[in-house]
Amino acid sequence: MDRREGYMKKFYILLAVFLLSAVQLVSAATKAEADQAYQENKFADAIAAYETILGTEGESADIYYNLGNCYYKTKNIAKAVLNYERALLLNPGDADIRFNLELARSKTVDQITPASEVFIVAWMKNITNLMSEKEWGVTALVSFLLLLLGLALYIFGNRIVLKKVGFVGAIVFLIMCVSANLFARGQKNKIVNRTGAIVMSPTITVKSTPNESGTDLFVLHEGTKIYIQDNSMKGWKEIRLEDGKEGWLPASAIEVI
């Protein structure tokens, strides 16, 4: 009986390995097929393939970036902006994503100038966006290990120079470790609590209240980025523009980044 159970365990392990390998091979093939379709200018096929990958394997900055390129090529600017924004959210330090996003946004109707921020706030945002959550996490881990090394030099070093180097190094890497953890947490919060969205309707009027009878405030066009302020009203979202303007939009008119 015990021998049979042992054989069954081995069988299940082998089966799991086989299934995992099969899934990876299918995923690789699907990605290769999508890339091939893009290279052959078969953008509709590439879009369908990339969307399938996102639906089955979850989010990926690379896939969102490729998908954004496909939509840009088909002149669907709103979808291009949406996918570039999603790619940048996952990989904020990528210069290519940021460049293509700005290029796509330049094609939109609403050219909104962001409100000025306090220097320290803008500076902290720029530092946080240098790397993704995972990259900041790795930086925090490496800094922690170097912190331990510095403490070891300080405690066990047999020379004054080593002790000084260890002490200073420990302080520096402690600051780096804490900062990297805070930046990683900030990036994670942006991914988990998404407030950014893109207007998908060709033209939509922003209202003063969450109903059609509200006063017309201003008009937005597809591809414009907005920030969701209030989710409490069914079918409506209170939104804010980058220049500070606020109002209400039907939830169906936007798509969350």
Task: From 99, 114, 70, select the one nearest 245 (Cα to Cα).
Answer: 114
Task: Examine the pLDDT at 25 and tell me if it is beyond 70.
Answer: no
Amino acid at 59: E
pLDDT score of 116: 83
pTM for this prediction = 0.83
pLDDT tens sequence across 129-183? 999 999 999 999 999 999 999 999 999 988 899 899 999 999 999 999 999 999 9
Class of the CATH-defined domain 196-256: mainly beta
Task: Classify domain 2-105 at the CATH topology level.
Answer: 1.25.40
3-state secondary structure of 38: helix
Task: Examine the pLDDT at 32 and tell me if it is beyond 90.
Answer: no
Task: Examine the pLDDT at 83 and tell me if it is beyond 70.
Answer: yes
Task: From 23, 29, 27, 3, select the one nearest 15 (Cα to Cα).
Answer: 23
R_g over Cα of the chain:
25
